[in-house]
Amino acid sequence: MRRIKRGTAILLLGVCLLLAAGCTAVVRDGANTAKEKILNGFNEFLQSVSPYALTRDSKLVGERELGEDSYTGHYTADYRDFSGEEILFGGTSLRRGGGQSLTVAYTLEVTAGSASLYWLEKGTRHPIAADTETGTYAITLSEGDNYIVLAGKSFSGNLSITAA
C-alpha cells in the first residue's frame, strides 16, 4: 500500500506539471491539440508503469494470466493459512484504452480464517466478497488508481476470478 501511495503522489505531481505545460502550449498553438497530445502521452506513461503496482507473479499464491492489459485476466489460487494482500489486477490511468467498465466474475471459498476480495479505488475499498460466495461485480473505473485486491488473515480456501 505504501508503494501505491508514493506512486500516486509522484503521478499527481507529474500531472500538475504536464497540465501546466499543456496550458502554455495551448495558448501558443491556439488549439486543444497540444494539450490533448500531452494528456494522451501522460496517460500512456501511467498505463505503462501501473502494472508494477501489481503483486509480482512470483509472489502470488496462485496463477495469473493477464488479458489485454493489467486490468483484465484470470487468476486461480488455493490458499493455505495465507495472511496478507495480493493486488491481482488493475492500474492507474486517466482513460483506459479498453474502456471504463469491467466485469469481475469470481468464486471465493473460505474454509478457515477470513478473506475479502475488494476493488481499491483511489484508496477507498469497495467490497466485492467477504466470505464463501460466487457472483459478478461491475466496476466503472475512475481516473487514477483502480485495483482488485484479495486480503486474507489465516485464510485457507480457494479463489477463482476473471476480470474482463
Q: Is the pLDDT of residue 63 over 70?
A: yes
Burial class (CB in 10 A: 0-12, 13-18, 19+), 54: buried
- Tell which wins on pLDDT, 71 or 7: 71
Contact 3, 53 (CB under 8 A): yes
Q: Is the pLDDT of residue 48 over 70?
A: no
Looking at residue 1, the DSSP 8-state letter turns out to be -
Query: How sure is the predictor about 25, in pLDDT bands with cuts at 50, 70 and 90?
Result: very low
Query: How sure is the predictor about 96, in pLDDT bands with cuts at 50, 70 and 90?
Result: confident
Q: What is the pLDDT of residues 97-113, one digit of tens each?
A: 788 899 999 999 999 99
Q: What is the pLDDT of residues 119-164, one digit of tens each?
A: 999 889 999 999 999 999 999 998 888 999 999 999 999 999 999 9
Query: How sure is the predictor about 51, in pLDDT bands with cuts at 50, 70 and 90?
Result: low
Q: Is the pLDDT of residue 114 over 50?
A: yes
What pLDDT, on a 0 to 100 scale, did the predictor assign at position 11?
Answer: 58
What pLDDT, on a 0 to 100 scale, did the predictor assign at position 44?
Answer: 62
Contact 107, 134 (CB under 8 A): yes
> Is pTM, for the whole model, over 0.75?
no
Burial class (CB in 10 A: 0-12, 13-18, 19+), 81: exposed
What pLDDT, on a 0 to 100 scale, did the predictor assign at position 145?
Answer: 87
